């Protein structure tokens, strides 16, 4: 497409308009003036014809895949290949989505003579997790005299993968990533256990009676438990609920965030961050890590494995998750896990059970897998869920009713915790800022106590 530049408009105002005014004032000089105007018009037309060849031979290549973190600056690398016979001024543009912000509307470069290719960079800041694709690049180059600009488009392929920012969570959990937990260096084989005996410690509630060292118990006068070396190939799965309740704010569970609404993280965003951090911890500990995402059906399943390549596969599966408007089907979830997971594994379920119907459904269906696997349920604590009289700043009747509703919700969650505990399922209400730490602590605690 051919468009006029400001230089053409400037010369029209500088030459054509004064000449036309002069011809109107001096009719005798009109033929000469008209010849001058015609010459300028012919010059502009020739410049317009030459402009069509300005984009010939130019090739633009983008980086195939760009990986970056949310709200951290990323850079698009662009390689422009041109014949190199003449210097050209090139302008590049992209159709940026709202989720990717760039301070530069376009990128301009002068293609020097004698150089076949140049490299350009285009910085941007991703505002939202997800996958974005640029399939077309828009070009503009000026005509030889600069009167016109020729615009065109070119097919490109550039995938931008925006992951959650884990830098803050890594700092909080840095100590857990330094060592694997060295409890001792002298190990003796314990006959009949299939594990390596490591040391003795005092009995803790929940320890199996089979692991009590009765001889040491008799000597010390208090229960002593045998500790075995931690197994290296435990399977850990994170089960993420992507149903309608996951779109609520992770700070105040009664507020639903719209797709384009800035501000707080959703529950799903927080669960994805926690799952990725737990994957790092499992990788450091040498365990097998897997991911399951569900709503009314199972839509993401990554079988537990180890290694950096597998963690990359889990990360790619997690960052693509989007909330769904349906209710979670826990019957489908538990049946799927019962059929797919043959080996005993640690299942960390990230869901919201403040809906009484969903809580009852979950409690009923969890019996399908709670005997085979170790199930631990984690839920972000709703803002209003607290015992009555916890907030002394109640000044109106509306606030009083709000506190009563929060107490009723807290009481229902306590009843749910007792019901799940009776079935051997651990249930925790976690704070927004402590979710990652709590999840990793539960995982490390299971390994240390060898509950699997």
Tell me: pLDDT of 207 over 70. Answer: yes
Tell me: pLDDT of 261 over 50. Answer: no
Name residue, tokens 């799952």.
275
Burial class (CB in 10 A: 0-12, 13-18, 19+), 7: middle
Q: Is 442 within a domain? A: yes
Q: Is 341 within a domain? A: yes
**Mean predicted lDDT score pLDDT of the chain:** 84
Backbone dihedral angles phi then psi of residue 226, each to the nearest 5 degrees: -85, 135
Q: Regarding predicted confidence, which is higher, 142 or 303?
A: 303
* HSE, side-chain direction, 13 A CA sphere, residue 443: 33
Q: Is 241 within a domain? A: yes
Residue 435, both tokens:
């979710």
Q: Specify the pLDDT at position 138.
A: 92
Q: What is the mean pLDDT of residues 76-97?
A: 84
- Report the range of poorest mean pLDDT among 184-193, 324-333, 344-353: 184-193
Tell me: pLDDT of 193 over 80. Answer: no
- Report the range of poorest mean pLDDT among 219-228, 270-279, 380-389: 380-389
Tell me: pLDDT of 85 over 50. Answer: yes
Per the structure, the count of domains in the chain is 3
Q: Specify the pLDDT at position 432.
A: 84
| Structure confidence by residue, pLDDT tens digits, 60-75 | 899 899 999 998 999 9
Tell me: pLDDT of 13 over 90. Answer: no
Q: Is 36 within a domain? A: yes
Same domain assignment for residues 150 and 234: no
Q: Specify the pLDDT at position 194.
A: 44
Distance CA 74, CA 126 (A): 8
Q: Is 183 within a domain? A: no
| Per-residue pLDDT band at 229 (split at 50, 70, 90) | low
Q: Specify the pLDDT at position 81.
A: 85
Same domain assignment for residues 332 and 371: yes
Percent helix, strand, coil in the chain (nearest 5)?
Answer: 35, 30, 35
Q: Is 354 within a domain? A: yes
Return all residues near 431 (Cβ < 8 A) that are at least 6 apart.
380, 381
CATH number of domain containing 258: 3.40.50.410
| Structure confidence by residue, pLDDT tens digits, 287-296 | 999 999 999 9
CATH number of domain containing 150: 2.60.40.10
Same domain assignment for residues 429 and 304: yes
Same domain assignment for residues 245 and 353: yes
- Report the range of poorest mean pLDDT among 104-113, 257-266, 315-324: 257-266
Q: Specify the pLDDT at position 189.
A: 37
Q: Which domain holds residue 204?
A: 188-228
Q: Specify the pLDDT at position 251.
A: 62
| Per-residue pLDDT band at 300 (split at 50, 70, 90) | very high
Residue 132, both tokens:
């974005």
Tell me: pLDDT of 191 over 50. Answer: no
| Per-residue pLDDT band at 195 (split at 50, 70, 90) | low
List C-alpha distances in Å: 439 to 27, 110, 148, 445.
Answer: 90, 53, 61, 10
| Structure confidence by residue, pLDDT tens digits, 89-123 | 888 999 999 999 998 888 888 887 766 788 899 99
Same domain assignment for residues 245 and 205: no
Q: Is 266 within a domain? A: yes
Q: Specify the pLDDT at position 76.
A: 93
Same domain assignment for residues 200 and 65: no
Q: Are strands 298-305 and 346-350 parallel, antiparallel or unpaired?
A: unpaired
Q: Regarding predicted confidence, which is higher, 176 or 132?
A: 132
Same domain assignment for residues 70 and 105: yes
Distance CA 300, CA 274 (A): 17
Same domain assignment for residues 378 and 408: yes
Q: Are strands 288-294 and 188-189 parallel, antiparallel or unpaired?
A: unpaired
Distance CA 403, CA 409 (A): 10
Q: What is the mean pLDDT of residues 133-141?
A: 91
Same domain assignment for residues 207 and 129: no
Q: Specify the pLDDT at position 232.
A: 58
Burial class (CB in 10 A: 0-12, 13-18, 19+), 388: middle
Same domain assignment for residues 76 and 202: no
| Per-residue pLDDT band at 136 (split at 50, 70, 90) | very high
Q: Specify the pLDDT at position 186.
A: 37
Distance CA 348, CA 274 (A): 11
| Per-residue pLDDT band at 176 (split at 50, 70, 90) | low
Tell me: pLDDT of 54 over 80. Answer: yes
Same domain assignment for residues 79 and 221: no
| Per-residue pLDDT band at 339 (split at 50, 70, 90) | very high
| Per-residue pLDDT band at 196 (split at 50, 70, 90) | low
Same domain assignment for residues 221 and 263: no
Tell me: pLDDT of 257 over 50. Answer: no
pTM: 0.74
Q: Is 4 within a domain? A: yes
| Per-residue pLDDT band at 86 (split at 50, 70, 90) | low
Cβ atoms of 235 and 343 within 8 Å: the answer is yes
List C-alpha distances in Å: 138 to 93, 104, 161, 283.
Answer: 5, 15, 22, 43
């Amino acid at each position: 497409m051919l468009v006029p530049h400001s230089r053409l408009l400037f010369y029209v105002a500088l030459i054509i308009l004064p000449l036309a005014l002069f011809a109107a004032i001096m009719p005798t000089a009109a033929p000469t003036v008209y010849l001058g105007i015609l010459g300028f018009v012919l010059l502009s037309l020739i410049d317009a014809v030459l402009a069509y060849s300005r984009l010939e031979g130019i090739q633009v290549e983008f980086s195939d895949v760009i990986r970056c973190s949310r709200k951290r600056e990323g850079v698009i690398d662009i390689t422009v290949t041109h014949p190199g016979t003449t210097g050209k001024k090139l302008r590049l543009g992209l159709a940026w989505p709202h989720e990717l912000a760039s301070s530069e509307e376009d990128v301009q470069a002068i293609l020097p003579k004698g150089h076949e290719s140049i490299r350009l960079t285009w910085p941007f800041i991703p505002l939202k997790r997800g996958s974005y694709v640029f399939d077309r690049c828009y070009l503009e180059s000026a005509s030889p005299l600069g009167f016109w600009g020729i615009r065109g488009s070119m097919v490109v392929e550039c995938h931008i993968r925006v992951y959650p920012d884990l830098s803050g969570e890594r700092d909080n959990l840095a100590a857990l990533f330094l060592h694997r937990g060295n409890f001792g260096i002298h190990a003796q084989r314990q006959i009949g256990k299939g594990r390596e005996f490591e040391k003795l410690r005092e009995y803790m509630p929940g320890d199996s009676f089979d692991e009590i060292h009765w001889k040491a118990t008799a000597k010390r006068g208090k229960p002593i438990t045998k500790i075995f070396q931690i197994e290296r190939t435990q399977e850990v799965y994170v089960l993420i609920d992507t149903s309608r309740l996951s779109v609520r704010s992770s700070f105040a569970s009664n507020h639903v965030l719209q797709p384009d609404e800035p501000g707080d993280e959703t529950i799903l965003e927080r669960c994805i961050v926690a799952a990725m951090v737990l994957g790092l911890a499992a990788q450091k500990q040498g365990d097998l890590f897997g991911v399951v995402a569900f709503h009314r059906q199972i839509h993401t399943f990554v079988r537990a494995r180890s290694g950096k390549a597998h963690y990359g596969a889990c990360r790619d599966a997690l960052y693509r998750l989007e909330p769904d408007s349906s209710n979670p089907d826990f019957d489908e979830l538990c049946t799927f896990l019962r059929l797919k997971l043959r080996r005993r594994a640690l299942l960390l379920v990230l869901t919201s059970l403040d809906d009484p119907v969903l809580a009852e459904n979950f409690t009923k269906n969890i019996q399908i897998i709670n005997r085979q696997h170790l199930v631990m349920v984690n839920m972000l604590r709703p803002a209003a869920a607290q015992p009555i009289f916890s907030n002394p700043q109640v000044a109106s009747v509306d606030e009083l009713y709000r506190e009563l509703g929060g107490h009723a919700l807290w009481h229902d969650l306590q009843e749910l915790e007792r019901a799940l505990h009776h079935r051997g399922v651990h249930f925790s209400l976690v704070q927004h800022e402590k979710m990652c730490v709590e999840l990793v602590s539960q995982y490390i605690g299971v390994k240390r106590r060898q509950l699997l």
